[in-house]
Amino acid sequence: MDQIELLPAQLARRNWIILAILLLGSLPFGNLALSLGILTGGLIAIGGFLWLRRSLDRLLGQVTDGQATGGTRFSYMFGCFLRLAVLAVILLVLIAIVKIHAIGLVIGLSVVVINLFWMTAQRAL
């Protein structure tokens, strides 16, 4: 199996490691709200990453003669808009109703971004 084919699984595994490191790093502050914000944001980010990965697998799996069918492209784009709408509703509920710790939420939502920077730096060296 090519190294590039292993990349999504490596990214998915590393997301959980980064979330664990961020959670452990928040514990010395003794702020439970911060830790819960990081956990919530991390779970949302990882869930969005897994949803995107599944959508891309489905899109690339349905390519016919080098071109995706119209229904496939439409369903992928619809899935992107649906994912964005679901994320917006979840964040709205968490911030406006649940009153989650905003800084912790932002740190948790950064899990996938941190992972991508880590992977880029690792491949550059």
Domain positions in the chain: 3-124
Q: CA 14 to CA 105: how far, in whole Å? A: 19
The contacts of residue 45 (CB under 8 Å, 6+ apart) are 15, 108, 109, 110, 111, 112
Counting beta carbons within 10 angstroms of the beta carbon of residue 93, is it exposed (0 to 12), middle (13 to 18) or buried (19 or more)? exposed
Stretches where the chain sits below pLDDT 70 are: 1, 62-71
Residue 92, Cα to own-chain centre: how many angstroms?
Answer: 17
Q: What is the pTM of this model?
A: 0.84
Q: The tokens of 107 are what?
A: 């740190």
pLDDT digits (tens, 9 = 90+) for 86-122: 999 999 999 999 999 999 999 999 999 999 999 999 8
